[in-house]
A = this chain, B = another copy of it.
Amino acid sequence: VGPGDDAAVFRGRPGTAAWAVTTDMLVEGVHFDLAWTSGEDLGWKALAVNLSDLAAMGPVRPALGVIALGLPSRLPVSFVDGFYRGFDRLARVSGFVLAGGDTVRADKLTVSLAALGEVPRGRRVLTRDGARPGDVLMATGSLGDAAAGLEILQKRPKGSRASSERFLIRRLLRPVPRLDLAGRLAAVPGVTAMMDSSDGLWRSAVILARASGVGLRIEAERLPVSPALRAWCGENGRDAVDFSLAGGEDYELVLTARPSAARRIEAMKLARPVGRAHPGRGVRAMMNGRPRSVSHEFEHFSQTA
C-alpha cells in the first residue's frame, strides 16, 4: 500500500512480516497552542495521532518509531521532560518503543514522529478505496467532542470547568487511538474500507468517497454525539450536529461495511451506522431526509494540504 492512505504497508522479501509506517508533523501555532497544551499533553498527542493512523489500517500492532524535534531555545527543559513523560505513558500501554531521533533548533516547536507497526501474519489491512455502493458508512465512539474542546479553550484558556467541559477538552488534548477497536473491526468479514477521522467525519467521507469511487450520504440525525457535547451545546446555544459532522481531531475510525457486517458491528457495539454508500460521486449530508448544510467554521482543523 503506497502513498495516500493513513499508513503505507510494506514487507522485505515475499513471505516475511509486513509493516505499516506513518508520519505526522505537529507545529506550534498551527496544530497546538502552548497557552493550553502542556508538555505531557503534546507528547501523548504526538504519539496518539500516529498510532491512530496505524489503527486506521486495521490489525496493526504498534512497534517502534523515530522522532524529530525542533525546539525553540526559549522552551524550558521541563517542557521537554514533560513531553517525554506524556509520550512514554501512551507508549507503554501501546507496546510502542521510541528507537531514536533527531533534535534540532527551530523558531516554533515542531514535532515529527514516524511510527511503525507490525501487521500480524495472514491479516489483511483496510485501505480507503474498498467502499462499494450499498455499504453502510459507520463511525466509532462519538464525534465533535475535540472541536468543542478547542472552542472552550480558545474562549477561556484557563480556569475552573464544568465536568462536560473537562471531558471535551480531554478529548482534544489526550485522544485515545482506537487500536483495539481497529483490530476487532478488521476481523469482521465484509468491512470494506477504513480511515481515521483526524480532520472530521465530513472530510473523511469526502476522502473515502473519492478513493473508492462511490457517493456517500451522511444521515446527520444518526451521528454519535456524546452526552457532554449535547449538554455543552444546550448550555451554549450551539448545534451538536455542526460539531459532529465537521469537527476534527476526535481520532475515531470511519469505515464502510456490507449491510450484514454493519449489523454485526452494531450488535457488537464497535461502531454505529452514520450513512450509506451509493453509485455516483460526492458526499451529501441529510437530516431526517432533507439536505443539511455543513459548517465551515471547523476548517482550521483541516490543516493538512
Query: Which residue of B is nearest A108, CB measured?
Result: B107
Q: Min CB distance, A12 to chain B, in Å? A: 4
Give 7 CB contacts A-B under 8 Å.
Answer: A4-B100, A8-B64, A12-B118, A21-B100, A23-B66, A25-B68, A70-B110
Query: Does A31 touch B at the CB level, under 8 Å?
Result: yes
By beta carbon, the residue of chain B nearest A12 is: B17
Q: Which residues in A have some Cβ–Cβ distance to B below 8 Å?
A: 2-5, 7-8, 10, 12-13, 16-17, 19, 21-27, 29-31, 63-71, 97-108, 110, 112, 114, 116, 118, 303-305
Asked if B303 and A104 sit within 8 Å, CB to CB, the answer is yes
Across the two chains, which residue of chain B brings its CB closest to A101? B23
Known: A16-B17, A63-B10. A68 touches B104 (CB 8 A): no
> What CA separation (Å) do A8 and B108 show in the bound complex?
27
Q: Taking each of A10, A97, A102, A116, which has the highest tally of chain B beta carbons within 10 Å of its own beta carbon?
A: A102
Which chain B residues border A64 with CB–CB below 8 Å? Answer: 8, 10, 21
For A71, list chain B residues within 8 Å (CB).
Answer: 305
